[in-house]
Amino acid sequence: MTDLLVPSTATLPQVRRLVTEVPGPRSRELMARRAAVVATGVSTTLPVFVERATGGVVVDVDGNSLIDLGSGIAVVNVGNSAPLVVEAVQQQVAAFTHTCFMVTPYEGYVAVCEELARLTPGDHAKKSALFNSGAEAVENAVKIARSATGRQAVVVFDHAYHGRTNLTMALTAKNMPYKQGFGPFASEIYRVPMSYPYRDQPGLTGTEAAARALALVETQVGAGNVAAVLIEPIQGEGGFVVPAEGFLPAIAQWCHQAGAVFIADEIQTGFCRTGDWFACDAEGVVPDLVTTAKGIAGGLPLAAVTGRAELMDAVHTGGLGGTYGGNPVACAAALASIETMRVQDLAGAARRIGDTMLPRLRALQERTPAIGDVRGRGAMIAVELVRPGTTDPDAGLAGRIARACHAEGVVVLTAGTYGNVLRFLPPLVIGQELLAEALDVVEAAFDTYAHSPGS
Ligand SMILES: Cc1ncc(COP(=O)(O)O)c(C=O)c1O
C-alpha cells in the first residue's frame, strides 16, 4: 500500500493547510451574498466557498486546503477534476454539447449503456436508460417495474432515502427535512422494517429480518400486487445501515418467487464505493433493475436505470426519456470515470480505505462510550453516536464533532434518521497519509467533545 494511490491526478498539493479561520473572510462575504439570493431551503453543510478541488483536497476562496471526506456526497469517487474526466469533458464540449439523444443520437450514450451492461451484477442481457439525477432514475425504475408487471404496489424500507421529487419523497422514509409540508405524497407505497443490526434485537439474522419484512408485505399488501421492492443495499442518508448478511438475498429471492421486480438503488453505493463495482456484489445478489447516479460520472450529472432487457423493453417507445438524459458531456465524463476506476483499481482502493478507517474508528469506539456503532464497507464508513450506556441517538454530539472537524479543515458529513451518524465518504483516490491525518482530526474532535457533556 502506498501513499501514491493516484499521485499523478493531484494537481493541487495534497495537504491540509489552514491559512484563516474556517470559514474565512471571503467565504463569509460570499455566504452573505448567498443569504440574499439563494433560497433558504437549500442547506449548506460547511460554509466555505470552493475555488479548486483535486484528488483528496478542496481549496476554498481564502486559500484553506481542506481534506475531503465527503466527495460531494459520494460523487467524486475518482477525485475532483480527475485528469481523464477533464480531458474527456473538454473534448466533448468542443465537439458538441447537446443534441438530445431522443432527436439525434450519439455514441457516448450507447457506450455508457454498454459499460453498465458489463459492470452491473448478473450476466443476463441488460439494457439501460439514462437520466439526470438519482431521483429521476428511481422514478423511472418504478415506472418500468409497474409497466412490466401491470402491478402498482412498491415496497420500501425504514430509513430509506430515494430522493426529493414527489414520488421519491414518498419512497423516502425520513420526514424532516425531506417531506415536511410537501405532501400529498404518491400512493401505493408500503414501508417495512429494514435489517438494522445495531438497532434490531440482538442476534436477529438477515433471513429472520427479511421474514419480518416480507410477512408484512404478504399480509398487508399481497404478494400478487407488488410491482417492485426497492432497496439501497447499504442505506446512505439513512445512516450507512448495512443489513445483516442474508437479508438482501432473501428479499431478492422472495421477489423472484412473487414475480415482483427487485430494484437495487445503488446511487450512493455504486461505482467502487463499497470495494466492489456495486454493493450487491458482496453477497452475489443480482437485482432485476439497478439505479445508479452520483459516482458514475465524476461530478457531472448523469443517472441510469439498468436491468433485464425484457423488463426494460416492456415500456412502449417514447415512454422513457427527457431532454437532457444522457447528455453527451456527462456520458463522456462517465466513460472516463469508469476507465479511471478500472485502470486504477478504485474498488481495491476503497477496500484499503476501509481497512485503514475501520480499525482506527473501532479503537476510538473502545475509549469513547458515545460511539454506539462503527460500520460500513469499503470507503463508505460511519459511526453512530448515542448517549453513553444507551442506544438513544445523540444528534447534538454528531453536529459538534462535525463542526469541530470542519473548523480543523476536514470535510465530514452527518446522516441518519435520527441525525446522529457521522459518515465518511473519501474520494477513492485519497492518499493514505492524507486519510490518516483526517482521522487524527476526527479522533481529536472526539477526544475533545465526546467526553465533556454539553460542550
Ligand atoms: C440511495 C439514493 N437514492 C437516490 C438519491 C437521489 O439522488 P439525487 O440527489 O441525484 O436525485 C440519493 C441521493 O443522495 C441516494 O443516496
pLDDT one-digit tens code per residue, 136-146: 999 999 999 99
159 has a pLDDT exceeding 90: yes
From ligand 1's centre to the CA of 455, what distance in Å? Answer: 33
Q: Give me the percent of the chain exceeding a pLDDT of 70.
A: 97
Residue 331 reports pLDDT greater than 60: yes
Higher pLDDT pick, 45 / 3 = 45
pLDDT at residue 7 greater than cutoff 60: no
Q: Which residues pair with 382 in a beta bridge?
A: 375, 423
> Cell 470535510 appears where?
411
**What single DSSP character describes residue 221?**
I
pLDDT band at 154 (very low <50, low <70, confident <90, very high): very high
pLDDT greater than 60 at residue 249: yes
Mean pLDDT for 366-370 is 97
pLDDT at 10 over 80: no
- Confidence label for 378 from pLDDT (cuts 50, 70 and 90): very high
State yes or no: pLDDT of 3 exceeds 60.
Answer: no
In tens, the pLDDT along 284-296 reads: 999 999 999 999 9
Q: What is the CB-side half-sphere exposure of residue 197 using CA atoms within 13 A?
A: 17
15 neighbors 57 (Cβ within 8 angstroms): yes
Is the predicted pLDDT of residue 265 greater than 60, yes or no? Answer: yes
Measure 87 CA to ligand 1 centroid, in angstroms: 27
Whole-number pLDDT of residue 8 = 44
293 touches ligand 1 (CB under 6 Å): yes
Average pLDDT rounded to a whole number, residues 310-326: 98
Phi (first) and psi of residue 3, to 5 degrees: -80, -10
233 C-beta closer than 6 A to ligand 1: no
Whose Cα sits closest to atom 3 in ligand 1?
162
Q: Is the pLDDT of residue 56 over 60?
A: yes
| Ligand 1 neighbourhood includes 267 CB (under 6 angstroms) | yes
Closest atom of ligand 1 to CA, residue 160: 1
pLDDT at residue 5 is higher than 70: no
Q: List the Cα angle 401/403/404 in 5-degree steps.
A: 65
Taking 70 as the threshold, does the pLDDT of residue 4 lie above it? no
Q: In angstroms, what is the span from residue 21 Cα to ligand 1's centroid?
A: 32
Whole-prediction pTM? 0.96
Task: Give tens-digit pLDDT for 107-117.
Answer: 999 999 999 99
**Are 213 and 196 contacting, i.e. CB atoms less than 8 angstroms apart?**
no
Distance CA 291, CA 162 (A): 10
Would you say residue 1 has pLDDT above 70?
Answer: no
**Ligand 1 touching residue 121 (CB < 6 A):** no
Where does the pLDDT of residue 11 fall: very low under 50, low under 70, confident under 90, or very high at 90 and above? confident
- CB-ligand 1 contact for 236 (6 Å cutoff): yes
pLDDT band at 453 (very low <50, low <70, confident <90, very high): low
Average pLDDT estimate for 373-390? 98
Beta bridge partners of residue 101, listed in sequence order: none
CA separation for the pair 318, 338 (Å, rounded): 28
User: Best mutation site among 76, 161, 292 for ligand 1, i.e. most ligand atoms within 8 A of its Cβ?
Assistant: 161
Judge whether 423 and 378 are in contact, CB under 8 Å.
Answer: no
Atom of ligand 1 nearest to the CA of 163: 6
**Is 288 near ligand 1, meaning CB less than 6 Å away?**
no
CA of 22 to the centre of ligand 1 (A): 28
Task: Determine the average pLDDT of the residues in 70-84.
Answer: 98
pLDDT of 213 > 90? The answer is yes
- Average pLDDT over the chain reads 96
C-alpha 135 – ligand 1 centre gap (Å): 6
Across the range 181-205, mean pLDDT stands at: 98
For residue 292 and ligand 1, the question of a CB distance below 6 A is answered with no
CA of 374 to the centre of ligand 1 (A): 23
Q: Work out which ligand 1 atom sits closest to the CA atom of 303.
A: 10
Closest residue by CA, ligand 1 atom 4: 162
For residue 2, pLDDT over 90 is answered with: no
Task: Please enumerate in sequence order all residues whose Cβ is within 8 A of that of 40, keeping only pairs 6 or more positions apart, or say none.
Answer: none
Sign of CA dihedral 361, 366, 371, 372: positive
Percent of the chain with pLDDT over 90: 96
Q: Residue 266 CA: which ligand 1 atom is closest?
A: 1
Is residue 304 predicted with pLDDT exceeding 60?
yes
Name the burial class of residue 389, with classes exposed (0-12), middle (13-18) and buried (19+) by CB atoms within 10 angstroms of its CB.
exposed
